[in-house]
Structure 1
Amino acid sequence: MRFEGRVVAITGGGSGIGKEVATRFLAEGASVAINGRDADKLRAAAQEIDPSGERVIVSAGDIADPATGAALVEAAVSRFGQLDVLVNNAGVFNPKPFLDLTEADYDWYLDTILKGKFFAAQAAAKAMKGRGGVIVQTGSMWAIQAIGATPSAAYSAANAGVHAMVRNLAIELASYQIRINAVAPAVVETPVYDTFLSKEQVRDVLPTFNAFHPIGRNGQPGDVAAAILFLASDDASWITGTVLSVDGGVTAGRQ
């Protein structure tokens, strides 16, 4: 029970990696506040994770609005009395060629991925100041390595900003005993692909990416969740400012 008595806030906690992270934190003793844009989806996830309703609360809102991150932190502190861990997991993804990207596309990525994580981290750090804590960001392999099959210039740029933020905040927040790290996943089978592909396309396309990973398979939410919980735990107490590749070997090279 690595997180007994601790309080965790998770953005993008209604499905995929975020929901799996919430489930695992709860199983290891934590109380959890989850955020997402869809209030009904959040409530359904909370009911599934914790039918008692005692250790999971929801805070709905678009993380692109800085007030949403602040509201999530406030909800966690008000209900559970403190905040020990923030998992900044919310994100968006929809590959589109650079020459087709619009200003609205650009703003969508930067606001959700970079601005959202920036101000949620700021709100969390203010709550953690004086007692310490941990922030874990979900970055991306696409910020480290470009993939021709999935053109993602704006998405990659936003996540590169997240990676840079991790290094900067690790230095700024160290004196407050606040650690910050990130995971950088490759292809993980989550509902994000349902937002721009049909169910038939997801079924047909995702398996073609198995061989893209040297380990030979796509990632699952649990693969990333395990890394996030490690970085949030006392087992990683001497790790800060790190971007951990959780990518089946993609950034190591090719077979």
Structure 2
Amino acid sequence: MTARDPQLLPWLAELHRRSTMSGWGFAAFDGRIESDDPPWDFDEEVRGALRSSEHAVDIGTGGGERLLTHLAALGDEHGVITATEGWEDNQPIARAALAPYGIDVLAYDPELGERLPLPDGSQDLVLNRHEAVDAAEIARVLRPGGRLLTQQVDGRDGERLREWFGGESLYDHVTVDNLTAALADAGLRIDQADDWIGAMRFRDIGTLVEYLAMIPWDVPDFEVHEHEEQLHALATVRPIEVPQRRFRIIATRL
């Protein structure tokens, strides 16, 4: 489609309307979104930690997609694993995926200030990839010497998108400095803390609009009809590149 094709906005509006997330998988974007990788290998760090853990919890498992890849790589080299998920629509998806591996999926949303439904000092490993972190609850369920491994999307991620389409960041407070301070206050020793800026590239404007529908917190309340000029301008750009920001923390319960 050309930048001024009269069908551009109706096409984008329909894409936005019918694009929804199921679980926490991005297979729909295979070959259409390319992302730089941070200098650390969080997946390998997680697998190494699971190999040596007795009781681990994966907070914010989505539909269990990422945990399933770890299980496929580990075989039987892991202890007891529990998972949590806060989004109600994802919970049955995760339970169906993880039940064959004997993994319970508990309802838990750290953004709501809920109590993590696990006993005090019951875990030697807490995993959290791109889910909110309640430092006090993590400290409570970790035994002394237990570890937290978390990779986070920096709250300033998506700034370029908001420059284009408006809206306010919902997570400006999510930074490596703020989270390390909260974890230290809760009684964890910070062993590793790194942040990183890379790039994400969308193949075309349709891919970007689908992404905004599936990740609505990047540009809250985005509507195609409100951004005609910007969308026409971006329709001439391939790929569409935006910065992305990540950080990871490894910490130990004192």
Question: What is the TM-score with the length of structure 2 in the denominator?
Answer: 0.49
Q: Which has the larger radius of gyration?
A: 2
User: Which structure shows the bigger proportion of residues in strand conformation?
Assistant: 2
User: Which structure shows the bigger proportion of residues in helix conformation?
Assistant: 1
The structure with higher relative contact order (CA 8 Å, sep 6+) is 2
